[in-house]
Amino acid sequence: MAIAGLLPKTARFKLESNPSLKNFIISFIFQDPLNALNPLMKIGSQIKEAIKTKSNSINKKQLVLDLLDKLEISDSTKRYKQYPYELSGGMRQRILIAMALARDPDILIADEPATSLDVRIKYQIIEMLKKICLESDKAIIYITHDLDSVKGFADYITIMYAGKIVEWGRAESIYHNPKHPYTKNLIKLSQQYKNQEGRLEYIKGQPPLPENFSEGCRFHPRCEVAIENCKLEDPKIKGTTEHWWKCPLND
Ligand code: SF4
């Protein structure tokens, strides 16, 4: 959100990119389509608003219908005139994807785009995003807690905890050789939802609030292998330019 300038000026991010990020068009796909879509506007009008070109209304309508067809939304002419509440959750999420694509972005940021959907629809949406990625030159930044859902999709993975990057690398390297304890937990939990007693597994404790961020490793209150020094010093980067992490206990 800060990257796209959607937050107050107090929200900052630091990114070195060449060419500058300002040269790219960025679109968002949000997590909850019912909140992201305007309930008082018909689907067609909402997608049309996002089209950048100065073409006339008839051409814009055709562009929208083409987009709906491309995203395998059945009966596009009927959907064009419907309101969000008349569509299923999966259909609404596709409409959000259509809105994001209508702008013809260079970068598509998908923030947990399939979390609120049932498993079958969730994988349909992920497959659709994979297809968009493969068939175009757009970059997709897919934000999720469910690492398993982006297996075979992501080229690179960035693991963040409490606002800081704790591990980064090529996806195969992260999946097969995770280094940071938080990453290891995320991978374990994405594959094994229940423990031997049939209870849902989770990482004990809570992420810290920003006002409680400590000097040392922010993961230390929840880390099973933490040592005394973890509370005091921000861990240094270890690894290579292809795969690095911030934890001194892993080589
Ligand atoms: S630096 Fe310490 S607390 Fe942080 S992840 Fe590594 S071992 Fe755990």
pLDDT in 10s for each residue of the chain, 251 residues: 777 777 887 877 777 777 777 778 889 988 888 888 999 999 999 999 888 766 677 788 999 999 999 888 889 999 999 999 999 888 898 899 999 998 889 999 999 888 777 778 888 888 888 888 888 888 999 999 888 888 888 999 999 999 899 999 999 999 999 999 999 999 988 877 666 677 777 889 999 998 988 889 999 999 999 999 999 999 999 999 999 999 998 76
Cβ–ligand 1 distance for 220 under 6 Å, the answer yes
Structural domains for the chain: 22-144 (3.40.50.300), 171-251 (no CATH)
CA-closest residue to ligand 1 atom 3: 220
Share of the chain above pLDDT 70, in %: 96
CA-closest residue to ligand 1 atom 6: 247
From residue 106, give the alpha-carbon distance in Å to each of 23, 119, 240, 247. Answer: 9, 28, 28, 34
Of 220, 227, 251, the residue with max ligand 1 atoms within 8 A of its CB, to mutate for a pocket test, comes to 220
**What does the radius of gyration of the chain's CA atoms come to, in whole angstroms?**
21
Q: Residues 96, 30: contact at Cβ < 8 Å? A: yes
pLDDT digit string, tens, across residues 204-220: 999 999 898 888 999 99
Measured between alpha carbons, how far is 69 from 73 in angstroms, rounded to an integer? 6
Cβ–ligand 1 distance for 162 under 6 Å, the answer no
Cβ–ligand 1 distance for 159 under 6 Å, the answer no
How close is the Cα of 169 to the center of ligand 1, in Å? Answer: 18
Measured between alpha carbons, how far is 146 from 12 in angstroms, rounded to an integer? 26
- 95 Cβ partners below 8 Å, 6+ apart? 33, 37, 43, 46, 47, 68, 73, 79, 84, 87
CA-closest residue to ligand 1 atom 8: 226
- 223 Cβ partners below 8 Å, 6+ apart? 181, 182, 217, 230
Sequential DSSP letters for 163-195: TEEEEEEEHHHHHHS--SHHHHHHHHHHH--B-
Q: At what angle do helices 89-102 and 43-50 cross, to 10 degrees?
A: 30
CA-closest residue to ligand 1 atom 7: 226
pLDDT digit string, tens, across residues 105-150: 999 999 988 877 777 888 888 888 888 888 888 899 999 988 888 8
- Secondary structure, 3-state, 33-72: HHHHCCCCCCHHHHHHHHCCCCCCHHHHHHHHHHHHHHCC
Cβ–ligand 1 distance for 243 under 6 Å, the answer no
- 25 Cβ partners below 8 Å, 6+ apart? 52, 103, 104, 105, 106, 107
Cβ–ligand 1 distance for 166 under 6 Å, the answer no
CA nearest neighbour of 89 among 25, 34, 44, 38: 34
